[in-house]
Chain A
Amino acid sequence: MPKELWKGNEAIAEAAVRAGLEAYFGYPITPQTEVLEYLSRRMPELGRAFVQAESELGAINMVYGAACTGVRVMSSSSSPGVSLMMEGISYIAGTEVPAVLVNVMRGGPGLGNIAPAQADYNQAVHGGGHGDYQAIVLAPASVQEAIDLTVLSFDLAEKYRSICMVILDGCVGQMMEPAEMPEMKPVHRENWDWNTDAKMGKRERRILSSIYLDPVEEEKMNLRLLNRWRTIEANEVRYKEYFLDDAEIVIIGFGTAGRVALSAVREARAQGIKVGLLRPITVSPFPHKVIDQLAGRVDAFLVTEMNSGQMLEDVRLAVKGRVPVEFYGRMGGVVPFPDEILNEIHRMAKVKLSADVHPRDAWLERMAHV
């Protein structure tokens, strides 16, 4: 397929359609509304289901219902709306049905604003809904990646009967870039052994529920989810490396923060500083292993995020105190410019770094001017 100029949000919508999306349920919220608007035209045109729900609560429970029938289903929202959906996410996880949810993150907490942010990392990666569960979370940094990961999200959700979230910030959602769409995949209903699509004279009845009234049974279910998660961790970690071969300082950033860091890394390289970039593509499962390996041979890490250092804690867990981990973040919808990260690289290349101070505390002091 030739490249076309796609806007991130619309690209995600079309990619989902081509991946065999049979039903979309959503609610308008900036900066993801183009997904809803695009599909409000596209889905009926193909004879597929589209409902603008009464709320995000309604939308996620429509997703839940359709997911139980075994079809490919998706919703999308932005931070405050995703908070409302967390009830349904937990139920979907507890019922072990596949569903895809796109979160085009904006500044928060509360109503916040509509500018790009990454402050829902913890909500997506470390829970959000109640109970013991984990979600697969993909973090595209470009329109092409948004397309590819949307397609992948359906495959992963089905493969592991899991919720799969695609988290991007408003930048990727609103940005236009040349990108290539996959071929249109025809809608195909798998012959699952778990879905509730009615007996139809072919089998015994099925029940899908997240209830395990007996604690022992619930614990077994929790263990089943955890064991499945171990498989996901072993097989599905994805990331992209830039200039890591001889890097002494390694920046870790996902999504837009990662690509902003790439500009800074190139500039620093041009100045002769040996710096590289690791951009996690799956933030859950998190690329612990590669960071663990890097920690054995590099001098320091710099984590950069558009939040207060949420992924930072996961990096620190992987580094285990062996080398200093520094942090630079912008919050509230502010997107960092490359020179801010370059300044951090310069600072790290110059001063002796201490592992005694928590990187967030040190960063907060450097942020005093704001």
Chain B
Amino acid sequence: MQKEIIISGFGGQGVLFAGQVIAYAAMDSGKQVTWIPSYGPEMRGGTANCTVVIADQEIGSPLVKNPPLVIALNLPSYDKYEPMMQVGGTLVVNQSMVDRGAKRADINTVFVSANEIAEQIGDKKLTNMVAVGALLAALPEVTIETLEEALKAHLPARHQHLLPKNYEALRRGFESAKEQLAVIV
């Protein structure tokens, strides 16, 4: 088993942390995992992305050209990664930030209004967790429970009070994606 995930969006959307939470959950499930950011001289703004690879054996390349799993939190990321995706892969798109439908029929595109859901829960910063929840619907190797445990174990103490809202964000994203994937499949 090996799964590669790219998470991409604007700086400040929590792209890197979203990847780390998945990496923690994979590690806690006894999997091999790598997390690698794309980094640039600019510290803020611009697009940020990270790649997470989860496997049962020693991981080779930490980077992937044609990912099977992508979270695109904004339009530039959607435009960039949609054509690069592996056939049959799942692309989670933050519908709140894009104004177009899918161009490819050979992948599963899941639209989640991550901003709106996050705002409904009461914290716009939860956009990334909504999207991560959505991705888990296509990543059975990491269960929503292990991800919740990972959040609990690795969220800094000062953010621990936000755990219930994070859990809600994950589950709302997950449910939204599951419904759509059920229709597609």
Contacts and interface: CB of A to CB of B under 8 A. Distances in A.
B58 A262 contact: yes
Interface stretch (A84-92, A168-176, A280-288): A168-176
B60 interface: yes
B174 interface: no
A260 B60 contact: yes
B35 A5 contact: yes
Nearest to B50: A176
B69 to A, nearest CB: 17
The range of chain B's interface size is 20 to 34
B41 interface: yes
Given A5-B27, A178-B27, A263 B61 contact: yes
Nearest to B51: A175
Interface stretch (A51-59, A212-220, A332-340): A332-340
A334 B177 CA distance: 35
B35 A175 contact: yes
Interface in B21-64: 23-24, 27, 32-37, 39-41, 58-64
What's the dominant secondary structure at chain A's contact region?
helix
B58 A174 contact: no
Contacts of B20: 5, 176
A72 interface: no
B60 A174 contact: no
B65 interface: yes
Nearest to A277: B60
Interface string A158-181: 000000000000110011111000
Contact of B33 (A171, A177, A263): A177
A321 B67 CA distance: 40
Of all A-B residue pairs in the complex, the 4 with the closest CB atoms, nearest first, are A263-B60, A262-B60, A176-B35, A337-B65
Interface of A: 3, 5, 30-31, 114, 170-171, 174-178, 256, 259-266, 335, 337-339
Interface of B: 20, 23-24, 27, 32-37, 39-41, 58-65, 154
Given A171-B62, A176-B36, A265-B60, 7 more contacts: A171-B36, A174-B36, A176-B23, A178-B32, A259-B62, A260-B63, A337-B65
